[in-house]
Structure 1
Amino acid sequence: MTTISAIENKRPVFPFTAIVGQEEMKLALLLNVIDPKIGGVMIMGDRGTGKSTTVRALVDLLPEIQVVTNDPFNSDPSDPELMSNEVREMILQRKQIPVSTARISMVDLPLGATEDRVCGTIDIEKALTEGIKAFEPGLLAKANRGILYVDEVNLLDDHLVDVLLDAAASGWNTVEREGISISHPARFILIGSGNPEEGELRPQLLDRFGMHAKVGTVKDADLRVKIVEQRSSFDKDPKKFREAYKSAQEDLSVKILEARERLANIEISYDLRVKISQICAELDVDGLRGDIVTNRAAKAFAAFRNHEKVTPKDIFTVIPLCLRHRLRKDPLESIDSGLLVQEKFSQVFGYASAP
């Protein structure tokens, strides 16, 4: 399995394992890679805290996947839910499907993107003159089975955010124009980042992100010096710096792959599920997304830790990430740091301190 060297010929990427601190953000990203159904991550924090660097570093760790060759939607040759209608028709007609391997892609969504650029567009002229559905795929097609990253998501037009979240939730993107409708799979991990000083997302949009990670400026002087040294070393000789972390990168990549394979067999007891729902109810969390995401994240974390069953400690670690942005709050207050969620966890589970 080629995991690290495949992109050496492109712009060098800072190694994920070399990133100092910001454990909460790194954990949220890793859990979403292990189980994309968690629903993505919203990362909010100060300027210059490595949000974009960390997200782009994540791509280095992702495994290769099987895709239908030259398919614009990165269709899965074996899963009907992840293949385009054209590939499905080829299978029904028993045609030979060319298959190749490709790295999981990460697509950057620019702030000025139009809806046509995001969703794709239908060539009306070709449809009328030649009678065929000529579809020009957008960023959602390119992001299928990969990662869609939106930097400064809180500055993105609300309508576009709605489109992204709808596609992320349903796994499909539908483009309709002039009586012509085309659908294609759009299963991706949605990662948004932003600076709270530039405004928060609407609560109903925040709720659609599976997890919410907060990042802050490092206060420890020694740690700040280490971060500066790491960055200076990388800028001076990226190839040599990446080589020093090659083993750690490959180890983490294998760990992610094994966790993905182990995930389906992870158990979470009925008692723990009841307590998760009790915490959500007592915190007055609207809807059931909080319950569902916490269950999924706890199982993904257990898989990452090579456990067979979810433990209270697994839940304690992930539940602030899953619930903090779903709490009812005063409009003038910022999102809870997670302490309120952890306090409620201790009450429900009967712990005097962290497990």
Structure 2
Amino acid sequence: MTLLRSVNRLGLKAMHCLEPEAAHNLTIKMLATGVGLWPKPVQDPRLSYQLADLTFKSPLGMAAGFDKNGEVPIPLMKMGFGHVEVGTVTPLPQPGNPRPRNFRLTADKAVINRYGFNNEGHGALKARLAKLPRQRPGILGVNIGANKTSEDRAADYVQGIEAFASAADYFTANISSPNTPGLRDLQAKDALTDLLSRTMAARDAQTAKVGRQVPVLLKIAPDADEALLADIAEVALAQKVDGLIISNTTISRPPLKDSAQASEAGGLSGAPLFRLSTIALAKMRRLVGPDLPIVGVGGIHSGETAWAKICAGANLLQLYSAMVYEGPDLVADINAYLLQKVQEEGLSSLQQAVGSNAEAWASEPLS
């Protein structure tokens, strides 16, 4: 083990002595002040991906939830993430659910959270993003959501589009958090049609103002059944969304070693989510066909799991919870592994592997 890895391992152990939310907040502060060491980022043209007018130099991104208020996107990009998704951000600031609301399941390499879209609101995030350089080392996504008390949640997504159209490289409409009551109801066919028609219209209305058509992705839950997945696919294609993110955390509880923490309410992420989210990804790939971009997220914690997501149908990848257990070395490790697989398989691009094992994954049950 290199000295750098040893130092990062010691840092992780120290962080795990803190309560999870306190450890997370300290991590953000350290990144914001330039504290941190990580391997040189792995970049190679064979790992790049083009989505609309955006070139992702690395397939691996930081998922929403880590940097809710847009405090450290540039340090994360310098770590080797090809894209960073800030948020979820809501029009009005909200404190989220009472603490404690973040729980480590160390034996399972998993996390349960019930944050509830805690964030500083549109105004604070917009002010921070306005200070970022126009030329950035990675792609910036803005994950938009609805306030808990909103009477018209679709209107909140429209406000998100209008607020960040000039700052975001792409948008994600997050309708899949389990911690805002009723939010997942927006995945139902009629509600989703209303939401996306209004959101995409708002995006189109901003196109002339910002000089480009900002891609809009839709983030869904892994807990949908086959019929709901089919409805989501139908609406997403009809409304011409620019891509899907599969998936958010799960409210299900697969067998877990940490039975005490497993009883906590909230969304489960980390290694135990891998199988369910990958099956949902593959089933959606089969439903939408080969062309619609899909970001695979859920349970990625190694090069092997990242490669499996690609072969199940993902064009791009995101992670978050694995960083709690593996630290910053994981980013370079995954990109190096993917590049190695491209070389071993004799591919000219990672994208040639997308969906190569989708049918096998899609044949598995969602339960």
Asked if these proteins are the same fold (TM beyond 0.5), I'd say no
Structure-1-length-normalised TM-score:
0.34
Higher helix share: 1
Structure possessing the higher radius of gyration over alpha carbons: 1
Q: Normalization by structure 2: what TM-score?
A: 0.33
